[in-house]
Chain A
Amino acid sequence: MDNLSSLSGAQKDELMDQVKQQIAVANAQELLTKMTEKCFKKCISKPGTSLDSSEQKCVAMCMDRYMDSWNLISKAYSMRIQKERGRM
């Protein structure tokens, strides 16, 4: 690890790509976990012997709405950050 400061340019690029990729994977995993939890809660009120088609439809819709909501909140949050920055 003590050779980190003498990485070549290409090694550095590779390291950065890896970091970015790992963050993206972690982010996707978090979204997946949250979505599963939230949509299970919304769509499966009484677990039966199988996922019936209305439950499946609900889960599919719920996923799409959860991502809509994520994007909306992301927008609202960045707008607020910008507003607060302008105030300082």
Chain B
Amino acid sequence: MTDFGDSLSSAGLEGKGDKELQEFLMVEKQKAQFNAQIHEFNDFCWEKCVDKPSNKLDSKTETCLTNCVDRFIDVSLLITNRFAQLLQKSGGM
């Protein structure tokens, strides 16, 4: 899913300006990335939040799953920002 861009240019589409196809592929690529991200979230949030499978997800589990996504993104943002700060402090490596 990661190399649509590469195959675009190797297929000679880029520059030749088939706008419609390019836009279509961009949108599909974004959708695919979104889906891949959900698969990943579901993978580890399932481990963290779901006990024995029962007749339905109870509300505690649902809250845990929702929080799991939000907190993961928080951590990701926090680490990105702090890492950028560290890089800056050390003079850009």
A residues with a Cβ closer than 8 A to B are 1-2, 4-5, 7, 12, 15-16, 19-20, 23, 26-27, 30-31, 34, 38-39, 42-43, 58, 61-62, 64-66, 68-70, 72-74, 76-78, 80, 84
- Total number of residue pairs linking A and B with CB closer than 8 Å: 102
Determine chain B's interface SS by DSSP, over half rule: helix
The answer to whether B50 and A69 have CB atoms under 8 Å apart is yes
The answer to whether A38 and B46 have CB atoms under 8 Å apart is yes
* Interface size class of chain B, counting residues whose CB lies under 8 Å from the partner chain: 35 or more
Contacts A23-B32, A66-B42, A69-B45 hold; do A4 and B69 have CB atoms under 8 A apart?
Answer: no
Contacts A68-B56, A73-B69 hold; do A23 and B31 have CB atoms under 8 A apart?
Answer: yes
Residue of B nearest to A5 (CB): B16
